[in-house]
Structure 1
Amino acid sequence: MRALVYHRTGPAPDVLTIEDRPRPDPGPGEVRVRIHASGVNPHDTKFRSGWTGGMPDGASIVPHSDGAGVIEAVGPGVDPARIGARVFVLNAPHGAGTAAEAVILPDSHAPALAEGFSFAEGACLGVPAYTAWLAVLGDGPVEGQVVLVQGGGGAVGRVAVELASLSGAIVIATGRSGRSRAVAGARGARLVLPVESAMVTEAVMDLSQGRGAARIVEVDFAANQATNAAAIAPHGTLAAYSCSSDRTPMLDYYAFARKAARLSFVQGLALTDAERSAATAALSAHFARGALRPDIAATFPLAQAAAAHLAVEAGAPANVVVTLD
């Protein structure tokens, strides 16, 4: 099978190659998915570039954790009726990811792809949707609460906005560009402001009757720390899933401690089995109704996977997908 591979970190055009690899066989409790589309997330490009650290000598990586396709084989303990099912992939094994014509993973990591969703859309569901679920609903219901989504037009942010809105929250979102703010508004945010706006905290306080945001979903912990400390409610939760502007930010400890705030660092790649099961049930119900559909900025064939990585690094306005048909 064809697979995208890199053996060292570095710029995408310099390190990404296409190789022929043996088609793997599923073991007990596993399925083999014929991949039709592979989603490229920022964590994929950060690891490949070396931004999050190096890789062991002699290692080879098939990147990407998200994808979609059809189950073509099952291992012992998996219902053979699953063969032929259209599925989306989440948490593909690190180093043996979805940027290949086939991937092996646990049966529970290949939920059914909702009718009407394309494979390209399915390839954008894993990290964005599951990260958004964990950030918005990982601690329980948000009905009637004020939720602030920083970066509400991003791949995760737009899902967080819609999911919070569908869950009965009062959503305030921020965005750096007019296009980002328009997306957040279309997804259900009651109020959308520029991320640098001094009015963010004021707006949160107005809509919460002075209490503050019960939850803040954060795309860049370092950049927005001061605003979040001012806007968060006593005993509120700041759920941060990225910190792209500074890998090692200083923490204004007492700004959060005085409010007994909870700092939660969430990762759609690191859910417990219970969280994954709950998220799959909740998200699949929304998908079945046609909600939470991802936006796709661009698709690239496997031969142009380096361009897909560059598009993500350049700040693509929505999801980027590599196709393997």
Structure 2
Amino acid sequence: MRAIEYSRTGEPDVLTLVDRPLTDPGPGEVRVQIHRSGVNPTDWKSRKGSEAGTPVDPPQVPNQDGSGVVDAVGQGVDAGLVGRPVWIWEAAFGRPSGGTAQEYAVVPIRHVVPLPDGASYDLGASLGVPFLTAHRCLTVTEDGPDRLGPGKLAGRTVLVAGGAGAVGNAAIQLARWSDATVITTVSSPEKGNLAALAGADHIINYKQEDVVAEVRAISPHGVNTIVEVSPAANAAIDAAVVAMHGSVAVYATDGGESMELPVRASMTPNVRWQFVLVYNAPEPWRPRAIDDVTAAIQAGAVRVGPEAGLPLHHYSLEQAAEAHAAVEQSIVGKVLIDVR
């Protein structure tokens, strides 16, 4: 079968198209015929590594997210899954041969989730890292819910930094489905339009407007939850607009690896600064997140594509390096590799 792999860290050109043997699933595993492979920042960061040229042995098949059809099952797995469309999360985490940038991926059964009827492979490959991250960010507030769904965030206000990004888009969609009032910050009118299509109620261009003044005008008592992509740039803003017992969920480090934390401004309202990495998040959270994302799909509440504020960029398997480069260069939208 055709597969992409890398045997050393580095730039996108370390990704190589190879022929790998087709392997059978072991106990508790399934083999998925991959239709779409989703590319996220975490994928190129893992490929690039901390030092270029570091050997990777055994070679790694990249990309955590994907979608496809169950092709075979191992011992202990319901044979009725064969032929079912599924989406995949964390396929490559701790598994050199598990990534979705290949024609068939063998992964543990817990890493595949049935795609609801009518859901596209494009949507399935866009769910894992962005939507699970967004769910985690929206459910870490001290007095907030640990589940999402209609009414769960009613009466609450969410601020999403960078609403045109993949996680920002997912956070907007999930928060609106849960009946929150959603404010988002963007850097251009074009990105503002994408955030509006995702469902944001209020859009602030942080390059032209005073974010603190605008947020306080919308929500005088502050916002309950902040989904933060750039803490180095926004920590002071976040501390100035977060509500009593609110939270700032930091899921990325865009703009710097460190930040200056406003201690007094955070201490007085008992604010929680929560750092989010889905790969080692507390285990009890994960099944709740997967169930909620699945329910949102079934309800038609989450979408991808330009009409949902998330343009799709398709690449062939042979163009995997170009796909990684596009994400690394912060292309607006979702990058997908069309494996089949």
Correspondence for 1:170: 181
d(CA) in 1 for partners of 2:68 and 2:338? 10
Correspondences of 1:1-325 after superposition (within 5 Å)? 1-13=1-13, 15-50=14-49, 58-94=57-93, 95=96, 96-139=98-141, 140=145, 141-208=152-219, 210-295=220-305, 296-325=311-340
Q: Does structure 2 conserve the Cα–Cα contact (< 8 Å) formed by 1:46 and 1:52?
A: no
TM-score by length of 2: 0.89
Q: 1:52 to 1:178 in 2, by over 3 A?
A: farther
Tell me which moved more, 259-268 or 121-130.
259-268
Aligned length: 323
TM-score by length of 1: 0.93
d(CA) in 1 for partners of 2:251 and 2:68? 27
Q: Considering only aligned residues, what root-mean-square deviation do their CA atoms show, in Å? A: 2.0
Q: Does structure 1 conserve the Cα–Cα contact (< 8 Å) formed by 2:39 and 2:335?
A: yes
Tell me which moved more, 25-34 or 122-131.
25-34
Tell me which moved more, 66-75 or 291-300.
291-300
d(CA) in 1 for partners of 2:129 and 2:197? 21
Q: 1:124 to 1:303 in 2, by over 3 A?
A: same
d(CA) in 2 for partners of 1:25 and 1:34? 12
Amino acid at match of 1:167: S
Deviation (angstroms), 1:55: 5.3
Q: 1:212 to 1:204 in 2, by over 3 A?
A: same
Amino acid at match of 2:201: R
Amino acid at match of 1:275: W
Question: Structure 2: 5+ residue runs without aligned partners?
Answer: 146-151, 306-310
Query: Deviation per CA, 1:8-37, whole angstroms, max 9, x where unpaired?
Result: 221102x11011222232222221111111
Q: 1:229 to 1:138 in 2, by over 3 A?
A: closer
Q: Does structure 2 conserve the Cα–Cα contact (< 8 Å) formed by 1:151 and 1:195?
A: no
Q: Does structure 2 conserve the Cα–Cα contact (< 8 Å) formed by 1:128 and 1:268?
A: no
d(CA) in 2 for partners of 1:115 and 1:54? 44
d(CA) in 2 for partners of 1:54 and 1:231? 44
Tell me which moved more, 294-303 or 268-277.
268-277
Q: Does structure 1 conserve the Cα–Cα contact (< 8 Å) formed by 2:65 and 2:91?
A: yes
Query: Sequence identity of aligned pairs in percent?
Result: 40
Deviation (angstroms), 1:270: 3.3
